[in-house]
Structure 1
Amino acid sequence: MKTLRAQLRDVIQQEMTQDPAHDVLHLDRVWANAHRIAKDEGGINLRVLVAAAYLHDLVNLPKNHPDRKLASAMSAEKAEPILAKLGYSAEDIAAAQHAITTHSYSAKLEPKSREAVILRDADRLDALGAVGIARTFMVAGQMDRPLADPRDPFAAKRALDDQLWSIDHWHLKLLQLPHEMATRKGRKIARKRAKLMLAYLQQLAKEMDTELPAHWSELLE
């Protein structure tokens, strides 16, 4: 597995367009998450899982790109010849492609295999916790999106809008991810990481001389 992982890392260094939030370190973390969940689940095809973990962002389109929801399918297609060269069977290639295609939040496709379910949980875990906080602001900087509405930073009296304000994205998506995890281990890790993010928001609110509205904390109940 160590040799295969090294080969896959070499491939993505050459084939994948990387940005600060979707780079080789992101792939390393997704694999670490996936491997951790797989140990808890048991009976997982790790060759399929490691391939899907390292190739799931081969085609990486910006979040505001009109074809964003197609990126996972494009990544799966691009993965096929790579895995064939690495000696994967047709069956394992198809399994890895399915996991890659269905991992995407924006594609809204249902994973049908255990490996696909694990990859989706593992990728979403990387949007939470300390890394999730860092990635949020890296993406916001790339998109030139402000931190928060200066009049009502935590949407106490306005509608949430994550197309305008970075912090709103936490409420509309990120802090809801623990409820969407499909594996027991994924849910446990996600909830712990989301609590860290909520603590960060509470401190941020203090530093902004305001209070975090109750509807933020209610997301984790």
Structure 2
Amino acid sequence: MTDSEIVEETITFVKETLQHAEGGHDWFHIQRVFNNTMLIAKEEKVNILVVSLGALLHDIADAKFHDGDESLGPQMAQDFLHSIGVPKRTINHVIKIIKYSSFKSGLNNGTVKGKKTKFSSKELQVVQDADRLDAIGAIGIARAFNYGGFKNRLLFDPSVPPNLKMTKEEYKKSTAPTINHFYEKLLLLKDNMNTETGKQLAKQRHQVMLDYLEQFYHEWNPLSFKNSM
């Protein structure tokens, strides 16, 4: 099976698996991340098959939709890739991308129970940037509120301040209003991009979020508009 055939088989598998997924984590999210990945990869020396598969499978079973089970996604990806004959070395790299690309994987300073969990590769950096780009800007705003609605969260509550020092477990269990998510994650992503392309693309999307928040607070209370957060 050629690399292009492997990618096409993976696209079919992901589409079928995520056909009923929440709107911010569905096939179209995967497609956007894949496209972002291909764009960033043009300027980086990476294994194209690895970044393609990493992008396509990074959210195949997002833990927050599976009772917090972080092992399910990597296992599903491994089983699928093995079934279509992908080399073990490639599978292992893709699995590590799935495990370490998320924002929450960087919390707790990259440790779990005192043990280092860090992994890095240029391929991981490319997929991570591609995924983070889809979490910010106009689409990032839409995804944030779509997920907030899915979880029945408040839009905003001035009495609930953002938690800027969350541990990984606190992040996973958070039920805070959606606006808090901007400060707890989305506005932090611009300065955590890995690649030059990712950094440049993030700047404009970051500004979109700042402009949106200013307008949000103005509409929330136009008599005493004050962005105090």
TM over 0.5: yes
Counterpart of 2:198 in structure 1 is 186
Alignment partner of 1:120 out of 118, 123, 128: 128
Distance 2:39 2:120 in 1: 20
| Equivalent residue runs for 1:40-189 within 5 Å | 40-41=43-44, 43-62=45-64, 67=68, 70-71=69-70, 73-108=71-106, 109-149=117-157, 152=158, 159-160=161-162, 163-189=175-201
Unaligned runs of 5+ in 1: 216-221
TM-score (norm 2): 0.80
- Closer/same/farther in 2, CA of residues 89 and 212 from structure 1, 3 Å limit: farther
After alignment, is 52-61 or 204-213 more displaced? 204-213
**Post-superposition offset of 1:214:** 5.9
Alignment partner of 2:36 out of 33, 36, 48: 33
Taking every aligned residue pair, what percent have the same amino acid on both sides? 29
Code of the residue aligned with 1:38 in structure 2: it is A
Distance 1:201 1:30 in 2: 24
Higher normalized contact order (CA 8 Å, seq sep 6+, divided by chain length): 2
Code of the residue aligned with 1:35 in structure 2: it is M
Counterpart of 2:22 in structure 1 is 19
After alignment, is 133-142 or 80-89 more displaced? 80-89
Q: Give secondary structure in 1 for the equivalent of 2:140.
A: helix
Alpha carbons 2:63, 2:73 under 8 Å: kept: no
Code of the residue aligned with 1:37 in structure 2: it is I
Distance 1:21 1:13 in 2: 14
Per-residue CA deviation, residues 43-99 of structure 1 (Å, 9 max, x unaligned), is 211111111111111212337x762xx52x431221122112333211111111111
TM-score (norm 1): 0.83
